[in-house]
Homo-oligomer: A and B are copies of this chain.
């Protein structure tokens, strides 16, 4: 009887499911070294990668990575297409942790979650899982690979949720009323993604390590962003109604207080009309923009100009772009369809001709506001656009399209830019725009900072005015160890020097930020040339967990310990099996979201305002206090109670940290030669490849850069010695005298 019933079941399934075809395996082809692509159904012409602008993959850098085989059993990956929906399933192993899938502000690990990836302003009060400024549909597996679902649609994702009837191994069936071990969320063996689209491109990025997989993703997108050196200085934003005179007075105050400043942010008031926008200088507040910009240039500062891309009627740009407008307005302004090349060109031409070219040395970038959400501000989902695309597609890509236009306006003039953006998506790695947010919750900001490392995007917390000096100080210390260090005073009368008790500490934090320019710039160079994210959340630290022999014996595994990979002996990436995972993270480390790595050597543990002490997880290897050079711990969790003056930062054993030798007020210019300090930490010998280029133009795209080899070794007398080996082929090296400091400094 049972067999008959099951046979009937199969028959009915076979007949009835005829309307929806069965899921089938995908066909994979290697499109770059260690990068495979498969297509389900008929993908749409607009995808995230195509919207981002399809910079050429950095094939040489990909080829220089360890050789890699396809990391999974291809039979375990299935796709299904019906009506206008496309579903893809990847296997999820029991020992696999999943990260990424958008810059979430509350959590890092994604196992067990169900959500919709949807570009939106993150709002912790609503907390719609998946709605964020950067819902990048890239997941990073601790088994050492990453997967991108390249669709410009809202994507519904479930990670280890939804046990399949057809699953080979199912969780135990337990009665909830009396059974032991009943689970509210039985674990499924799959990651499933649904796109409301007739098709979908899927990419797999090999490791061997999770960090390698992220590197491949960033390199495939064209390499990470390389900002100008001045973009790693400090940015202040002035109140929205500031005049040219008031803005220049703010710059003068920075100089008077000795607080470094490289960028001056002007808010909506620089425009004659905003919300919707005119993209023209306001004649009242900025009657002579050229003279204003000339003075800005004399002050060694660049302006960063706010806009949102919704165009006010009665402006020339509106008239030009009206033919490309969608069916709905945003704040009464038209929404140009920038998926159309002609519309992009009009916008880029206008930006370059009427704004950037006024003074290319003084106009440094833009702040691209409100390309993310909320729903109640942007075009409704019923909107359609002249290209034949609809609201959903434009919502998922608008930030990418506008970044691309702004980047192009600068790239054409061979000047780099550094900007801000409120909505982005996959493919954005090469764009030097840093995400921001209006929620202002410190813990969420730090979590987002970590998650940005999984997504090929840049994110920074923010400092605004506060009645609490400690609040402004702790936030300043944190932003100084993030991709963009800024004070946003657009709605505040307070200044960084308002609170006398912390003024010196704030100045010191920003001064240190600028001193560390060589280190930070090197991290960005690695991002650009090698794909390595600037900010690395804990799961991307390859030495996170060095299992002991006992650990390995207990788990019955003989795979290479993670420490080996971290020590520069990468395994060949091969097909994984379900029982071994050399990058498996111990449970206690899977959701450590309040600390992160900046670059190769610094572990940053921000202190929230009003918090006196905190725990810090120090991975395997010996770690040293950045400020004192003293030993801090090794493969352990420590408790720190830092003074107000400093934020906890730790340095790995043997690290070489390059700094500007002297305190400065702004970043070095392209032609300037400056002295370097190299600090060595710990007991191990050190090596560092230090990057340099002109720091202002795209000359690096034409080979105008160098990697200089620095090393420190212990001599026969027991003392440390530093050595420099210039780059034989290097085109640029702007450092003069080099001072070696062996920490702890005597």
- Residues of chain A whose beta carbon lies under 8 Å from any beta carbon of chain B: 2, 5-6, 8-9, 11-13, 16-20, 80, 82-85, 87, 89, 112-115, 125-128, 156, 158, 161-166, 170-173, 175-178, 182, 184-186, 192-194, 196, 198, 240-241, 268-269, 271-276, 282, 312-313, 319-320, 322-329, 331-332, 334, 340, 375-377, 379-384, 386-388, 390-391
Contacts and interface: CB of A to CB of B under 8 A. Distances in A.
Contacts of A176: 268, 274-275, 331
A156 B380 contact: yes
Given A126-B126, A165-B328, A268-B177, A322 B6 contact: yes
A162 B383 contact: yes
Given A162-B380, A328-B162, A382-B194, A177 B20 contact: no
Contacts of A166: 327
A382 B323 contact: no
B112 A376 contact: yes
Contacts of A163: 328-329, 332
Q: Top 10 closest A-B pairs, CB basis?
A: A19-B388, A84-B84, A162-B380, A16-B386, A9-B323, A176-B275, A12-B323, A87-B382, A114-B375, A158-B380
B340 A177 contact: no
Given A196-B196, A331-B186, A83 B82 contact: no
Contacts of A161: 375-376, 380
Contacts of A282: 177
Contacts of A172: 332
Q: How many copies does the complex hold?
A: 2
A142 to B, nearest CB: 22
A322 B2 CA distance: 11
Contact of A164 (B126, B162, B275, B328): B328
12 contacts: A9-B322, A9-B323, A12-B323, A16-B340, A16-B386, A17-B388, A20-B388, A85-B390, A126-B126, A162-B379, A176-B274, A185-B377
A384 to B, nearest CB: 5
A368 to B, nearest CB: 17
A327 B17 CA distance: 10
B241 A329 contact: no
Given A125-B127, A128-B128, A176-B274, A164 B388 contact: no
B178 A376 contact: no
- Of A126, A327, A390, A391, the most chain B CB neighbours within 10 A belong to A327
A240 B177 contact: yes
Contacts of A326: 165
- Of A172, A194, A312, A313, the most chain B CB neighbours within 10 A belong to A194
A384 B323 contact: no
A334 B164 CA distance: 9
A273 B16 contact: no
A246 B28 CA distance: 62
B274 A382 contact: no
B164 A327 contact: yes
A9 to B, nearest CB: 4
A322 B381 CA distance: 38
Given A9-B323, A158-B380, 14 more contacts: A9-B322, A12-B386, A13-B323, A16-B387, A17-B388, A20-B384, A84-B196, A113-B376, A126-B127, A162-B329, A162-B379, A170-B332, A173-B273, A176-B274
A177 B274 contact: yes
Contacts of A171: 332
Contacts of A276: 173
Nearest to A85: B390
Contacts of A128: 126, 128
A365 to B, nearest CB: 20
Given A319-B2, A388-B16, A382 B9 contact: no
Given A2-B319, A324-B12, A269 B177 contact: yes
Nearest to A374: B114
Contacts of A380: 114, 156, 158, 161-162, 192, 194
B164 A5 contact: no
B126 A5 contact: no
B85 A83 contact: no
Contacts of A162: 328-329, 379-380, 382-383
Given A6-B322, A382-B162, A82 B125 contact: no
A382 B126 contact: no
Contacts of A391: 194
Given A5-B319, A166-B327, A196-B196, A384 B82 contact: yes
A185 B377 CA distance: 6
- Of A82, A274, A328, the most chain B CB neighbours within 10 A belong to A328
Nearest to A131: B128
Contacts of A271: 177
